[in-house]
C-alpha cells in the first residue's frame, strides 16, 4: 500500500483556480461593501487597524470597549452548481454584502444612540406636544455643524425611516414661513460657529505657506 506521499492527488489542477476564485469573491465583497459605506463615510476618513477584540486610550477612565463583530451567512446549493447557474455567484456576493451592510448600520445606530443617551442629548416624542417640526428645530439648536476638508461648513444628515420621513416632510410643509425663516437662521448661525471653531483650531498650529 503506497504511503501518503505516493498517493495520487486528484483534482490538484483545480487548486490554483479555486484560490483565484476565492480571492475574487472576497475582493468583490470588500469593494462593494466599501462602495455602500461611502454613502455614509468619506473613505479618506476611514483607517484600518490590526488589533484584538478590545481597545482603550491611555487617558480613558472607562473600561476597554469591545470591538463589535459583523458576520454574514448564505447558502450555495449544489444543484445550482450542477446546472451551471452562473447567477449563483453574483447572488452570493450581493447577499453577503447586504448582510454585512445591515449589520454595520445596526451597530452604527446603536452606537450613536448610546452616545446620545449617555450625554442626555436626546429629544423625546412627548416633548413639544408631539409637534415633529418643533422637535426637529429643537434638535438643530442642540447640535454643532462640522466642516469639510476645505474648511467649508457642512449641514448634518438626517437618517429616518421612509414612512416617518414622509410624515415629517408633510408636517414641515404645513408650517408657516416664519418657522422656515427661523430654521434657516439657526442653520446659518451654526455654519458660522463651525467655521469659527475650525479657524480657532487651525490657529494652534504653526505652518508656513508654500
Together in a domain, 23 and 77 = yes
Together in a domain, 133 and 179 = yes
Question: Is a pLDDT exceeding 80 seen at residue 168?
Answer: yes
Predicted local distance difference test score (pLDDT) of residue 46: 74
Predicted local distance difference test score (pLDDT) of residue 70: 82
Together in a domain, 48 and 107 = yes
Backbone angles phi, psi at 150, to 5 degrees: -100, 5
Least confident of 29-43, 54-68, 115-129, 194-208: 54-68
What range defines the domain where residue 29 resides? 14-56+63-119
Q: Which of 129, 135, 151 is nearest to 197 (CA)?
A: 151
Q: Can you tell me the mean pLDDT for 53-74?
A: 68
Least confident of 112-121, 132-141, 177-186: 112-121
Together in a domain, 176 and 112 = no
List 65's β-bridge partners, or say none.
55
Q: Can you tell me the mean pLDDT for 158-185?
A: 93
Predicted local distance difference test score (pLDDT) of residue 60: 56
Structural domain count, the chain: 2
- Long-range contact pairs involving 63-72 (C-beta distance under 8 Å, separation at least 24): 68/107, 68/111, 70/100, 70/103, 70/104, 70/107, 71/99, 71/103, 72/96, 72/99, 72/100, 72/103
Question: Is a pLDDT exceeding 90 seen at residue 121?
Answer: no
**Averaged confidence pLDDT in the chain:** 83
Output the nine-digit C-alpha cell for 155.
449641514
DSSP, collapsed to helix, strand or coil, labels residue 146 as strand
Together in a domain, 92 and 139 = no
Together in a domain, 115 and 196 = no
Q: Is residue 2 part of a domain?
A: no
Together in a domain, 85 and 103 = yes
Question: Is a pLDDT exceeding 90 seen at residue 199?
Answer: yes
Q: Is residue 5 part of a domain?
A: no
The model's pTM is 0.69
For residues 190 and 83, the model is more confident at 190
Vertex 19 angle, CA 13 and 20, to 5°: 100
Together in a domain, 92 and 132 = no
Together in a domain, 161 and 198 = yes
Contact status, residue 148 vs residue 154, Cβ threshold 8 Å: yes
Amino acid at each position: 500500500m503506497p504511503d501518503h506521499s505516493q498517493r495520487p492527488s486528484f483534482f490538484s489542477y483545480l487548486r490554483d483556480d479555486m484560490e483565484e476564485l476565492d480571492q475574487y469573491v472576497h475582493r468583490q465583497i470588500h469593494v462593494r461593501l466599501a462602495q455602500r459605506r461611502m454613502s455614509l463615510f468619506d473613505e479618506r476618513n476611514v483607517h484600518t487597524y490590526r488589533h484584538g477584540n478590545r481597545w482603550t486610550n491611555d487617558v480613558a477612565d472607562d473600561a476597554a470597549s469591545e470591538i463589535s463583530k459583523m458576520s454574514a451567512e448564505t447558502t450555495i446549493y449544489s444543484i445550482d452548481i450542477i446546472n451551471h447557474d452562473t447567477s449563483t455567484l453574483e447572488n452570493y456576493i450581493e447577499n453577503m454584502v447586504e448582510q454585512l451592510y445591515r449589520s454595520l448600520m445596526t451597530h452604527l445606530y446603536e452606537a450613536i444612540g448610546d452616545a446620545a443617551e449617555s450625554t442626555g442629548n436626546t429629544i423625546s416624542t412627548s416633548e413639544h406636544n408631539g409637534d415633529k417640526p418643533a422637535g426637529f428645530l429643537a434638535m438643530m439648536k442642540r447640535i454643532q455643524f462640522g466642516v469639510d476638508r476645505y474648511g467649508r461648513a457642512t449641514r448634518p444628515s438626517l437618517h429616518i425611516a421612509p414612512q416617518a420621513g414622509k410624515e415629517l416632510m408633510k408636517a414641515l410643509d404645513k408650517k408657516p414661513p416664519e418657522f422656515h425663516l427661523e430654521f434657516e437662521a439657526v442653520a446659518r448661525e451654526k455654519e458660522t460657529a463651525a467655521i469659527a471653531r475650525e479657524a480657532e483650531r487651525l490657529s494652534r498650529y504653526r505652518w508656513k505657506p508654500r
